[in-house]
Amino acid sequence: MADPMKIRATLQGDVADVRVLMSHPMETGQRKDSSGNVVPLHFIHTISAQLNGKTVFEANTTQAISRNPVFAFKVKGAKAGDKLAITWEDNKGDKRTDEITLGS
């Protein structure tokens, strides 16, 4: 299981400014390790965010995203106390969900 995400959200009026840091190697499949073997492709391909269980943001990504990806996005209609959950899933079937409460 991957390390937890770091999620930070600040409320500006009813817009939540969300930043998330995921812990993931994001291998491109182009890199070789010290013994010259190609490191296989390993990347997050799907990300989604739910505000109180309702999907508010979705993304598909490829290996072109940097290692330990950072994303920021904004969600309208958020208020303090709302629960924001973010899920990612990678091409090896690994997935992780982390949740925070806004305004805390």
Give the integer Cα–Cα distance in Å for 74 and 11: 10
Q: What is the CA radius of gyration of the chain?
A: 15
The yes or no reply on residue 65 touching other proteins (CB under 8 A) is yes
Nearest distance from C-beta of residue 103 to other proteins, angstroms = 18
By CB under 8 A, the residues from 15 to 54 that bind other proteins are 15, 19, 28, 30-33, 45-50, 54
The yes or no reply on residue 64 touching other proteins (CB under 8 A) is yes
- Label residue 103 left, alpha or beta by phi (over 0 means left) and psi (-120 to 50 means alpha): left
* Cross-strand bridge partners of residue 86: 49, 98
Measured CA to CA in angstroms, residue 64 lies from 43, 44, 46, 68, 73 at distances of: 9, 10, 13, 12, 18
Give the x-and-dash track for 70-89 against other proteins (CB under 8 A): xxxxxxxx---------x-x
Residue 66 or 104: the one with the smaller Cβ distance to other proteins is 66
Residue 39 or 80: the one with the smaller Cβ distance to other proteins is 39
Q: Which residues bind other proteins (CB under 8 A)?
A: 15, 19, 28, 30-33, 45-50, 54-67, 69-77, 87, 89, 93, 95
